[in-house]
Structures are given as structure tokens and as C-alpha cells.
Amino acid sequence: MKTVIVLLAALVALSGARSAAPPSADDERARVRAHLEGVLEQLRTSPPAGLDAAQRAARAETIEWLAEYTERGRYPHNHVTAVTSPIFVDPHGTPCAVGYLLLRSGEHALVDRIVRTDNRVRVADLAGDEQLGRWLRERGITLEEAARIQPVYEPAGDPGRDPGVSPFTAVSIGVSALTAGVSMYAVSAGESARAAGWVEPLAVAGVVGHGALLMSLYTRDEYPGWAPWVHGAGVLLGALTLRAATAPTEPEPGERSIQVAPILAPDRFGLTLRW
């Protein structure tokens, strides 16, 4: 059991090494929404000249699709780099705004090709794509307008950029450090850990904290890919730490015993028979 606890403690502690997270999801969502609302205003008030009736109708429909996408507020999240950058379709299947417009009009093959070729492509760099060019002409949208739909991202490695740490990441680091530290102490201290009155409540706090963070992932559209693994391991680690800290002492040589108890706090809820 000691080996298992040490390995899990190392895994949970790794959450501290993954703290280079992008700005908080709420801040980034608000930024993208504000950008799209500004683009919608421009698209509605400044149509290009020379559109025929079919193009004007398709353009109006495309603008309404973009308004729906903006209002829904579910935008792609880049799990690949520590700084914000465009991503056409994220690992959860959430498309960017241009990708959403393409999918709404049935251009699934085009979206799949773009994702396979370069999922972090900037729309302006697709100027030579004939299939995209045809779609833009049919929808009454210029390449410049399509490129404008894509939010502006600062270049990776910009020394002036402070990516910050999201509240979720900060809490993850704190709970992980608590759980890993208590578990390592329980392993190294042995019998002394069982006598220390603070080990059990802190281990319980680790279980509850990791469990709450794990459950909170179900309410988040975006989260770091490492989070479910770290917090799932944290729940198990806290339970094993409690078991190690509260297990009854080993029987004397020649003594036999049978213990029927739950993994948590067996001295309180379990039954041990010795003879």
C-alpha cells in the first residue's frame, strides 16, 4: 500500500507543474463574445457591393447563424498550448465561429480537411483554398470578413503577455499539494501518523476537495485535460491515506485476527476479531 500511496501522491502533485493555464474560461469567453458582437454589427451594416439576390439571402442567413453561435456562448478551447491561439475544432468537438458557419451550411468535408491539415490555422492563411473561396462567394462573405470573425490572439511567447492562473487551477494546486503532502507524511511517519490528530481531518479534506473539483467538471464546458485524472487520483489517494492512518496496529506474533470494515475509518465503523 505504501508504494501505491507514493505513486499516487506523485501523480496528484503533478497538477502543480501544469499551472501554466490560459486566462480563465469566463474571461476568454467574454472576450470572444464581445469580439463576435462587434463583427456582427459590421457585417450587418457594411455589406460588400455587387451581391446578387441569392448571395444577399445567403449572407443574411449566415449572419443569423453567427448571431446564434455568439448567443450560445460555447466557444472552442485550446488544450494544446499554454497561450491562447486559434483552434478550428477543439477536442470536445466545439468548432470556432467560421467552422460553425461551415458546418451549418453542410461543409463537413471542408471542416474535416482543415482540422486534419492545420487545426490552428488562421482564416486569412486560407486565401488560396478554392473550396473555401467557393463557399465564401456563395454565402456573400468576403475572405476579409471571414478572417475578421476569428478573434485576434497574441503571438505565442510574447514576453508582454501574462497568461495568469485560473481560479480552478489555483484551487487544484492547493488541494493537490495538501493531499500529496499529508499522504507522504502518513507513509514516512508510519505509527506516528496514526497518533497525529491532524492527519485524518486533513486527509478527509483532501478527499472532499478533490471530489468537489471532480464533480465541478460536469458543469464546465472547458477544463484542462489533466484535471479529471488528477482529481480522480486525489480521491483515491485521500482514501488510501485515511486507511493507512487509521488502520489498527499489526497483531502480535502468533495472534490471528479477522477484520470486517469499510476502507474509511475502520477503527470507528469496523469490526475486528482477534484470538
- Domain residue ranges of the chain, discontinuous segments joined by +: 2-19+165-274, 25-149
pLDDT at 19 over 50: no
Enter the C-alpha cell of residue 273: 476479531
Higher pLDDT, 270 or 231: 231
The arithmetic mean of pLDDT across residues 43-54, rounded, is: 94
pLDDT at 138 over 90: yes
pLDDT at 21 over 80: no
pLDDT at 40 over 80: yes
Query: Residues 211, 212, 216, CA angle at the centre, nearest 5°?
Result: 120
pLDDT at 274 over 90: no
pTM: 0.49
DSSP letter assigned to residue 95 = B
pLDDT at 70: 93
pLDDT at 74: 87
Phi, psi of 203 (to 5 degrees): -65, -40
Q: Closest by alpha carbon to 181, among 45, 15, 1?
A: 15
Helices assigned H by DSSP within the chain: 2-13, 25-45, 53-72, 97-104, 108-118, 130-139, 143-149, 167-189, 191-195, 199-216, 227-246, 266-269
CB 8 within 8 A of CB 236: yes
Mean pLDDT of the chain: 76
pLDDT at 54: 96
Enter the C-alpha cell of residue 107: 461543409
pLDDT at 58: 96
pLDDT at 61: 96
Cβ-Cβ contacts under 8 Å for 230 (sequence gap 6 or more): 11, 12, 14, 15, 172, 176, 210
The arithmetic mean of pLDDT across residues 210-239, rounded, is: 73
pLDDT at 270 over 70: no
